[in-house]
Chains A and B, each alone.
Chain A
C-alpha cells in the first residue's frame, strides 16, 4: 500500500514538472544523481531500487552526459549505489541479484565512457572510493564467485559472466584497466574452471568463461605476475581441460560449418563464373563474400591454453564426443531458459558407461583437426587485418604444437590416422581436390599439407613475410622431431620441395619490390636449410631410398632457381651494402646444393651425349643420380637440426597487445548488442516464489 501511495506521489510530482511520464526507476536514478543522499528522505530507497527493472540505457546515458566535475559531485551517491549493488548480490531473491548485476554493468560502463582519458585510479575512486575499494571489490568478487559456483539459476550465472566480461573489456587496452588489479587479487579462476568442468554449465556458459579467461590471462602479461597465467599453466584436471577444449572445438567447428554453408550457397555462382570464363578475378570476388567473421577471442584462448599449459596438449588429440549432440548456439547469445543443473555422477572407481552419439556420418574428429580446418579457411585470405591476425595466431599455435614432444608424438602416431579435409583456395590452374579420395594419414601430414598449401597460395605483392617465416619454421620443427625420433613419414615430400623451390623463384623474381620491405634473405636461408636438412639427414627420416633420389632429381631439375639465387646472394654479399651479411649466409648455406648441381649436371649431360638423347626422362636422370653418389662429397653444416624455441615475451608482445585490444573491442560490442535482456530472466524468476 505504501508503495502505491509513494508512486502516486512521485507521479504527481513529475506531472507538476510537466515532463513525460517516467518510470519509477528512472526517477530513482535521478535521485541518485542529485547531490543529496537519496536514502535520507526514503530510508528504504536502496531496497526498493533493486526491485525495479533496470533501465540500462537511461543510467548509462545519464552517466555519460555528466562531465568529470559533475560526476565528482555525486561521487558519494555513486559509491553508495555501487556498495548497495554489491550488498544486493548477497540477497536471497534472484530478482534483486539480477538487478544489482545489471546496475553494476551500467555503472561500470557509464563511468568508463565518461572517463576515457582519465586514469584507472580516478575510476576506482569514482565507483568505490579509494578507501573502500579494496573491500568493495573483494566482496564483489566473492559474491560473483559464489554465484558462479552455486547450483543456482543458469541465467544468473550467465549474467555474472557478462558482468565480468564487461568489467574486463571496459577499456581498450586491458592492461590499463586498473580495476582488474582487484580481480587478480581476488581470483575467480576456480569458478571459471568449475564452469568448464561440469558439462551442463559448460554448455551454457563455456564460451563466455573461456573468453573471460583468455582476456584475464592477458592482463599485464609482460609487466607483472598474473596469477591467472600461473594458475592456468598448472591446471592438470582432465575434465576441466577437456571442457575447455570442447568449448574451443565447438566454436571453431561452428565457424567451419558456417563457412561451408556459405561456400555451398555460392557454389552456383562459382560454376556460372567458371563457365563464363571470366577468370580468377571473378572467382576471387565471389570468394570474398564467403568470408565469415573470424573469432579471434576463441583462438586466443586456444593459444593461451596450448602455450601455457602442457597438459592441454593431450586435449588436442582427444576426440570430441559431443560434437554431434550439442545444438546450443555458440555465439554469446543470452542464455535460454535454464535447465535444472544435472547432478554429475560422483567420482568413484565405478565405471559409468560412456556413450557417444551414434551417427555414422559424423566422422570422429578432434580439436586439432578442427583447428587445422579452421586454419585452412582463415589462412586462405590474409588481406584484411582481422584475418591476418587470425592467420598469424594460427601459425603461432602451430609453432607451439610443433615444438611439443607429446604433440609431436601423436601427430606422428602411425595408428592415429585421420582424413582431414583442408579447405583449398580455388585457383585457376588447379581443380578443387576431390575430398572423398583423401587417404587416412597421420595428422602431421595434414599439418604439412596445410603449410604447403599456404606456401603456394600466398606468393603475392602484399607478401606476408612474417607468416611465411612462421610457416617454414613449423615445417623445420616437424622435421627436427622426425630426424630425432627417426620417424619415417610416408609423405609426398616432393610437393613440399617444389613448393619451396617455387617460393625461392618468387622471391628472386620480385627481388626489388620485396627487398624494399623485407629481409628476404632470412626466408631464403631457412628454405635452403630445409633442403640441407633433407640432404644431410635424409637417411634418418626419409621413407625410402628412392625418395632421397627424388630429392636430388628435384634439385637438379630446378637448378636454374638455385643458380639464380646463388648469383643474387653472391652479388649482394660482395657489394658492401645493407644485405651483405644476410646474403653471405645464404651463399654459405647453398654450398651443398651447388655441389649437387655441379656434380650431377655434367654427368647427366655426358649421359645424354653418350646415349644421343636430347631430353632425359626422369627415370634416366634418377639412374645417373644413383650411379654417381659415391663421388659426391658434401659439407656438413652446423645446427641444421636446431631451432630457436618460440618465445612470446620478447618478440610477440606487440602483436598480442594489438590482438587483445581488438578482441576487447569486439567482445564489448557484442555485449552491448544483446544487452542482457531481462525478459527471459523475469520470466524465469517470476515463477519463483
Chain B
C-alpha cells in the first residue's frame, strides 16, 4: 500500500506511456529520462539514472516489488504503517508544519528552507521520495496540479500551493481552470493552499484577475454543493472584482510615473515579476525552496509596500480597474443577445454593424482582448468588417479588433481617440481667409489628435482630383500596371498626337485581372461569414489598416475574436487543454501530426469568446461556394498534382486529418458535420466545436457510428501508395500515433 508514495513519482515526468510494473520498467524509465535531458539540461543523466535505480530498489526492498499501476491515488499514506515511520526517520519534519504533521502524520510536505538545507546535508539516503520528486527538476506544473488534486494531506497541499510560485506564469495559467475548480469544489485545505498564489497573481496582472473572476463565476454558477463552498469561490471573485487586489506599488518606480500623473494609471510590477519568474527557471533547487517557503512573507512585504504607498495608490489607480473591461465584455454579450432575436442573417449583420459602430464611440478605452498574447489597448472595432457566423438559433459573431500594442497595460496611457476620418484640414477652411479664427482656436480643435501633422497618409482632399497621377494601389499584376501607366502618362500629352489602343487589350486585361484575383468567395446573404473568412488574413490586415485612422501607428495590430453568447464554453476550454497537451506530446515525440488548438475565454456558464482560426473556412462553405469535391478544390486553390504548393497542401491535409482523427477518437467528438470542420489556406483541416465530447451527444445517443470522421473525399485527397492504389499507409500511421499519444494524454488532463 504505502509504496504508492514512491511508485508513480519517477514515472510522471517522463513522457512514457505505460505505467507498467515497476520492476520491469526500470530500463525504459531510465532511457526516457536520458531523453528528457535535452529539455532539462540541468540534470545530469547519470545522477538521474542513479536516483531512479535507488528508488526502484527501495520500492522492491520494502514491498517485494508489488506492482501498482494505479496512478489515481499516489499519496495514500496510511498511518501506523511501516512506511510512515520509515519516511519519518528519513526526513526530519520541517519546523514550520510541525503542528500539522503531529496530527496528520504527514511528513512528506516540507517547503521550508530549513528542511531543504537539512535534506541536502543528510543527502539522498534520508530523503522522502515524494519530497525528492517535488524538489526535482522534473516536477512540473501538471504533476503539481495532479498531486494537489489527489493528495489528501494538507501539508502536501500547502507545499504545492507554495510551490506554485516557482512555476512560470504561463505554465500555471494553462491549468488555471483546474486550479480554480479545485478552489471552488474541493475542501478548505486545498482552497487555502491555492488562494495565496491566486491573490498574488491577481495583484500582478489585470488579465489574470479578469480570467480568474470570469472562471470563478463560470464554475460556481451551476454548483449543487453546499452554499458554504459556493460562497468561497464567489467570495474570491468578489474580492478580485472589488479591486482590492490592485497592484501594489514599489516606491522606486514612482518617479518614472510622475510625468503622467493625471491618467489614472497603476505603475507596473512587471519588471519585478519578470525577474522573479526568470529566476525561478535558473535558480538552484534549495534557494528555490527557500523562496517558496518564504512566500507568505513576500506577500507580507507586498502588503507593507502597498500600505506604505497607499496614498499614492489612491491617486494613481482608477477606481475600479476591471470595470471598463467588464463593461466592454458586457456590451459585446448584449449585442449577441439582441442579435439572437432577429430573424434573418441580413438583419443580424446590419444590426451588428450598427451596434458596433456605436461601441466604437466609446473606444479607445482601457480594455483589452484576453485571448491575445501581448499587452494592448483596444482602439477601434472596424465595424463594417464584422460578420455573423452560421448558427441556427444563437448569434455568434466574429469581430475584428484594432489594438495598439503597449509595454504594459497598466502603465501605458490609453491612446487618444482619432476621429473616424483623419483629415488634416477641412475643405472650406482651405478656401477661406485665415481671419475669424485665432491660431489657438484652431490648434485647440485638433488637440485631441497628436502627431496629426506627421501623418503622411492622411487623405488629402485632392485625392480624387489628381486621378491620373496616382497609380491604383490595389493588386495589379505588373503587366497591367505598366499598361495602365503608359495609358495614363500618354493621356496628358494626347493633344499632340492621338494614341490608339486595341479594344482587344482592354477586354483581355479585364479577364486577366479577374482571373488573377484569388478565388474569393461570392457574397451570400445567407452566409455572410464565408467571404470574410476566405479573405487572406494578411490582406485583410492590410486593408483594414489602410482604412483605419490608427493604421499609421507602428504598434497597430489587428486581432479577431468570436463572441459567443448562449453557449457554454467550459467544455471547449477543456478540449483546448487536451488538444494543447496532445500537441506538445506529439511535438516532443516528433510525430508529424498537426492540430490547431484555439484559445477559449470562458466568460460565464453560457457565454465566452473564441480566438478564430485565421485563413480558414468551413468545408461546408468550401463545397457550397466552389461546388467542387475537396480534391478538385485543392487543385483549384493550390495548383496541379505535381506542384510544390499542392503537395505541401496535401501533406498538411493528411497530417492534420490524422491528428484530428485521433482527437476525435480519443475525445469521442460528436456532431462532426462539414460546418464544424475548417479548411485553412495551407490545406490543414481544423475541427471546431467540441460541444459534444465523451459521453455527451447531440441526440441522447451516447455513441456515433464512426469513431472519427474520415470520408472518402478525405481519403481521395491523400497521396496514394506508390504502385498500390490504396492509401493504406495512413491507417498504419494513425494506429502508431494513437499508440504514442493515446495512453499518455489521458492522465494529463484533470478536472
Interface residues of A (CB under 8 A from B): 225-227, 229-231, 233-236, 238-239, 242, 307-311, 313-314, 318-319, 321, 349-356, 358, 360, 363-364, 366, 403, 405-406, 408-410, 413-419, 439-440, 477, 480-481, 483-486, 488, 535-536, 538-540, 542, 544-545, 548-549, 596, 629-639, 641-642, 645, 649
**Which among B421, B445, B502 has the highest number of chain A CB atoms within 10 Å?**
B421
Q: Are B324 and A350 in contact (CB under 8 A)?
A: yes
- Give chain B residues whose Cβ lies under 8 Å from the Cβ of A309: 426, 428
Q: Are B421 and A539 in contact (CB under 8 A)?
A: no
Whether a CB of chain A sits under 8 angstroms from the CB of B355 is yes
Q: A538-B506, A539-B513, A634-B501 are in contact. List 6 more A-B contacts (CB 8 A).
A: A233-B426, A352-B362, A364-B354, A415-B385, A629-B504, A635-B498
Whether a CB of chain A sits under 8 angstroms from the CB of B633 is no
> Of residues 508 to 525 in B, which have CB atoms within 8 Å of A's CB atoms?
509-511, 513-514, 523, 525
Q: How many chain B residues touch the partner (CB < 8 A)? A: 90
Q: Are B367 and A351 in contact (CB under 8 A)?
A: yes
The 8 Å CB contact of B355, one of A354, A481, A641, is A354
Whether a CB of chain A sits under 8 angstroms from the CB of B414 is yes
- With A and B bound together, what is the CA distance between A405 and B464 in angstroms? 7
> Of residues 454 to 511 in B, which have CB atoms within 8 Å of A's CB atoms?
459, 461, 463-465, 467-468, 470, 472, 474, 476, 484, 487, 490-492, 494-495, 498-504, 506-507, 509-511
- With A and B bound together, what is the CA distance between A196 and B331 in angstroms? 25
- Give chain A residues whose Cβ lies under 8 Å from the Cβ of B461: 310, 405
The 8 Å CB contact of B495, one of A364, A418, A638, is A638
**Which among B361, B427, B470, B511 has the highest number of chain A CB atoms within 10 Å?**
B427
Whether a CB of chain A sits under 8 angstroms from the CB of B341 is yes
**Which among B343, B436, B437, B503 has the highest number of chain A CB atoms within 10 Å?**
B503
Q: Are B331 and A364 in contact (CB under 8 A)?
A: no
The 8 Å CB contact of A307, one of B362, B427, B523, is B427
- With A and B bound together, what is the CA distance between A309 and B448 in angstroms? 17
The 8 Å CB contact of B426, one of A311, A409, A638, is A311
- With A and B bound together, what is the CA distance between A423 and B357 in angstroms? 28
The 8 Å CB contact of B341, one of A360, A409, A540, is A360
The 8 Å CB contact of B423, one of A310, A486, A548, is A310
Q: For the complex formed, measure the closest distance between the CB of A201 and the CB atoms of chain B, giving whole angstroms.
A: 19
The 8 Å CB contact of A638, one of B361, B367, B494, is B494
- With A and B bound together, what is the CA distance between A106 and B195 in angstroms? 76
Whether a CB of chain A sits under 8 angstroms from the CB of B100 is no
Contact status of A238 and B420, CB under 8 A, knowing A485-B472, A485-B474: yes
- With A and B bound together, what is the CA distance between A635 and B419 in angstroms? 45
Contact status of A536 and B338, CB under 8 A, knowing A230-B429, A311-B419, A319-B357: no
Q: Are B474 and A416 in contact (CB under 8 A)?
A: no
Q: Are A350 and B351 in contact (CB under 8 A)?
A: no
- Interchain residue pairs with CB less than 8 A apart (26): A231-B437, A233-B426, A238-B361, A242-B361, A310-B426, A311-B421, A311-B423, A319-B357, A350-B323, A352-B362, A354-B362, A356-B351, A358-B338, A360-B342, A363-B347, A415-B385, A481-B464, A488-B514, A538-B506, A544-B510, A545-B511, A549-B507, A630-B504, A635-B498, A641-B467, A642-B465
- With A and B bound together, what is the CA distance between A481 and B472 in angstroms? 11
- Give chain B residues whose Cβ lies under 8 Å from the Cβ of A366: 354
Q: For the complex formed, measure the closest distance between the CB of A186 and the CB atoms of chain B, giving whole angstroms.
A: 13
- Chain B residue at minimal CB-CB distance from A228: B436
- Give chain A residues whose Cβ lies under 8 Å from the Cβ of B570: none
Whether a CB of chain A sits under 8 angstroms from the CB of B87 is no
- Give chain B residues whose Cβ lies under 8 Å from the Cβ of A630: 502-504
Whether a CB of chain A sits under 8 angstroms from the CB of B628 is no
What 1/0 flags go to B346-374 for Cβ under 8 Å of A?
11011101110111011111110000000
Q: Are A540 and B472 in contact (CB under 8 A)?
A: yes
Q: For the complex formed, measure the closest distance between the CB of A651 and the CB atoms of chain B, giving whole angstroms.
A: 14
Q: Are A636 and B511 in contact (CB under 8 A)?
A: no
Contact status of A539 and B433, CB under 8 A, knowing A353-B330, A484-B464: no
- Chain A residue at minimal CB-CB distance from B414: A349
- With A and B bound together, what is the CA distance between A635 and B501 in angstroms? 6
Whether a CB of chain A sits under 8 angstroms from the CB of B632 is no
Q: Are B491 and A638 in contact (CB under 8 A)?
A: yes
The 8 Å CB contact of B428, one of A307, A483, A639, A645, is A307
Q: Are A636 and B365 in contact (CB under 8 A)?
A: no
Q: Are A632 and B502 in contact (CB under 8 A)?
A: yes
- With A and B bound together, what is the CA distance between A244 and B642 in angstroms? 62
Contact status of A353 and B327, CB under 8 A, knowing A319-B357, A635-B500, A636-B499: yes
Q: For the complex formed, measure the closest distance between the CB of A127 and the CB atoms of chain B, giving whole angstroms.
A: 26
- Give chain A residues whose Cβ lies under 8 Å from the Cβ of B692: none
Q: Are A486 and B338 in contact (CB under 8 A)?
A: no
- Give chain B residues whose Cβ lies under 8 Å from the Cβ of A238: 361, 419-420
What 1/0 flags go to B321-349 for Cβ under 8 Å of A?
00110011011001000100111001101
Contact status of A230 and B501, CB under 8 A, knowing A353-B330, A410-B384: no
Q: Are B445 and A236 in contact (CB under 8 A)?
A: yes
- Give chain A residues whose Cβ lies under 8 Å from the Cβ of B421: 310-311, 313-314, 406
Q: Are A354 and B472 in contact (CB under 8 A)?
A: no
What 1/0 flags go to B442-460 for Cβ under 8 Å of A?
1001101000000000010
